[in-house]
Amino acid sequence: MEAKAIKTDSYLKPIEIKKHLEKVEYIIMAAPAPDTFVDTPLHFTIFLNTSDDLPQEIQTAVLEKFLNEQKIEKPTELMSQLMPVGFALSSAQDTLMPLLLVDPKDQKSIPYGVMFVMDFLADSDEFEEVKEKSLTGWSYAYDGEVDSF
């Protein structure tokens, strides 16, 4: 099954990103991993609403918290660092889609804010729509409350 790309209508400007993130604690996104990663079929991105470079012991504690809470197993290919993140508006989505901007060309053309990002491959039985239907989803946590996935 081939997943369809989410059509972006526009992107938030940096000042709009700052306002959008005012009460956001974190965002978690799950997408299908490349087919070659059979044991870790899910690609997770955790966007922490901080522009601080977190010490390794804090990173480890945060990752363990997410792994336990989301019943995520076998994390691998972990990248955690400050990264540019854009936010896409789409008429097909209720919430803004976070975009990890890795490509320098995207960083020049899409407005962004800086967030601490943890990006990794893993597995979980809690994300069946991602595994079975190749869907991408994200949830926002607002000061301790989480929107549904």
pLDDT along the chain (149 residues), means of 10: 62 94 94 92 96 95 94 95 94 86 95 97 92 89 66
| Other Cβ atoms within 10 Å of 110 Cβ, number | 18
**82: which 2 tokens?**
């400050």
CB 75 within 8 A of CB 119: no
Report pLDDT for 144: 58
Report pLDDT for 149: 46
Query: Under DSSP, is residue 43 helix (H, G, I), strand (E, B) or coil?
Result: strand
